[in-house]
Amino acid sequence: MPTLSNLAAVVVAPGVDYFPGLLDRAEQEALRDGILAILVEAPPFRPRMPRTGKPFSVRMSNCGPLGWVSDETGYRYQPTHPETGRAWPEMPPRLLEIWRLLAPDAPPPEACLINLYDANAKMGLHQDRDEQELAAPVVSLSLGDSALFRLGGRERGDRTRSLKLQSGDAIAFGGPARLAFHGIDRITPGSSTLLAEGGRINLTLRRVSRSE
């Protein structure tokens, strides 16, 4: 894994850093295996939209002390799986290393949201704003098929730009971009051989609580 001294970031917008190829194939495979083990302990579930109950097109799980969930009662973080009632599995040490690399001044992450995309899944434009600690950045890692990532501004109607995220890429957004709207328009099936059944895994690391 790169070190701070040789880490190469592409500045996409103020507060948005893109790290193409952060993880090589061996590192991707190791992280994949760790996440697949987590999904056995914390099976993927399909979240639902608040009020309407409409299901998301992605399936989700979490690891770390807290996990993000959504259902008819709203968006929230909680320490247990919404279906099994068990505590979320621990976050793999490799993810904590990546956080320290890309967010060296932030307190440790408390949640890693695991989004599972099949060929037809997408994620509409949204803000990550359910956290108390907005001074820490959001760090996102891509595994598997490529995705077309859309990034906007702090208002829903702001101009957007698109970025192709490939397996092993990372992106971090904080500061003026911490509340930027963002989403996934589509994935490109068959663009990666990392996942045996295809699809994409997105790992989103967040600090939830304000640090003392």
The answer as to CATH 2.60.120.590 being correct for domain 11-206 is yes
Q: By C-alpha distance, which of 178, 152, 140, 182 is closest to 15? A: 178
Residues in Cβ contact with 124 at an 8 Å cutoff, skipping those fewer than 6 apart: 183
**Which pTM does this prediction carry?**
0.94
Q: Give the tens place of pLDDT for each residue, 119-141.
A: 999 999 999 999 999 999 999 99
Cβ atoms of 158 and 177 within 8 Å: the answer is no
Q: Give the tens place of pLDDT for each residue, 100-121.
A: 999 999 999 999 999 999 999 9
Q: Give the tens place of pLDDT for each residue, 58-93.
A: 999 999 999 999 999 999 999 999 999 999 999 999
Domains of the chain by residue range = 11-206
**Is residue 211 very low, low, confident or very high in pLDDT (cuts 50, 70, 90)?**
confident
